[in-house]
Amino acid sequence: MPEPLVRMEKISKSFGPVRALQNVDLILHHSEVLGLVGDNGAGKSTLMKILTGVHQPDSGQIYFQGQPVRFNSPHDSRAVGIEMVYQDLALAGNLNVADNIYLGRELTRKRLGGLVRLLDHKAMAEGAARLLERLKIEIHSPTLRVETLSGGQRQAVAVARSVGFEAKVVIMDEPTAALAVKEVAKVLDLIRGLKEHDVAVILISHRMPDIFEVCDRIMVLRQGVKVGDVPREQTCMDEIVALITGAQQEVCMEVA
């Protein structure tokens, strides 16, 4: 097997007397969709915050493309191509789609011999339109204000912002939690599209149908411990739910 894109080995993290993670391993391959599931408080968010540099582990090691790395901040993880789309999306509703996609990476043009730099709204709109087309995101115009978009479209804009700048890994936190059925289908199509563009995805979700529809492999955390790691086609919803609740103790497979 080729070297995994991400390998987290024996990650442990405590917050005072509370042990959030205990010797957790995670592997993510190129162009893979990994479902990360578990009950509230299982450690999913803490593990992803360690991968994105929000928290540092008490022990353990992270490898990215085979090289040991240490992320001291989200800037460090973003620099190598790891992006996280949070549940609240962190979009600016009063700005348009293009401005949101380029937020923090704005394109500018020089005026007065370079003494003045102005935002290049035309170039950002054109770049956003190309990105939306590449990802097959159906938004009529990149100049539409985000506050006028549907929930599914806003999720798509947040994902486009993440993958528009050479992202290799996109972590999605409950992307379909508050969406109607039709919009859920569009977000799942978007996840499949990321895989086709050689972007690996970690999908955090409580919606088992979504996990089983798009994920290649499912990893289960319970009380800070990994209790399951199995290819989707070798398990079923009942088994995964049993692992989450503790009705079944462990189904861990060695993932190379």
Task: Give the pLDDT band of residue 256 (cuts 50, 70, 90).
Answer: low
Residue 246 has pLDDT above 60, yes or no: yes
Of 38-42, 208-212, 244-248, give the lowest mean pLDDT range. 244-248
Q: Does domain 6-81+168-252 have CATH number 3.40.50.300?
A: yes
- Contact predicate 125/154, CB 8 Å: no
Helix axes 151-163, 121-134, angle to 10 degrees: 100
**How much is the average pLDDT of 4-11?**
97
Give the residue with greater pLDDT, 253 vs 254.
253
pLDDT (0 to 100) of residue 254: 52
Give per-residue pLDDT as tens, 147-192.
Answer: 999 888 988 898 888 887 789 999 999 888 878 888 888 889 989 9
Which residue from 46, 52, 83 is spatially nearest to 159, judged by alpha carbons?
83
DSSP string, 95-140: SBHHHHHTTTS--EEEETTTTEEEE-HHHHHHHHHHHHHHTT---S
Place of tokens 């985000």: 146
What residue ranges do the domains of the chain occupy?
6-81+168-252
**Residue 188: both structure tokens together:** 């799942």
d(CA 113, CA 31): 45
pLDDT (0 to 100) of residue 81: 94
What residue type is assigned to position 28 of the chain?
L
Residue 88 has pLDDT above 80, yes or no: no
What does the mean pLDDT of the chain come to? 91
Which residue from 165, 151, 149, 159 is spatially nearest to 194, judged by alpha carbons?
159
Percent of the chain with pLDDT over 90: 66
**Residue 27: both structure tokens together:** 């592997």
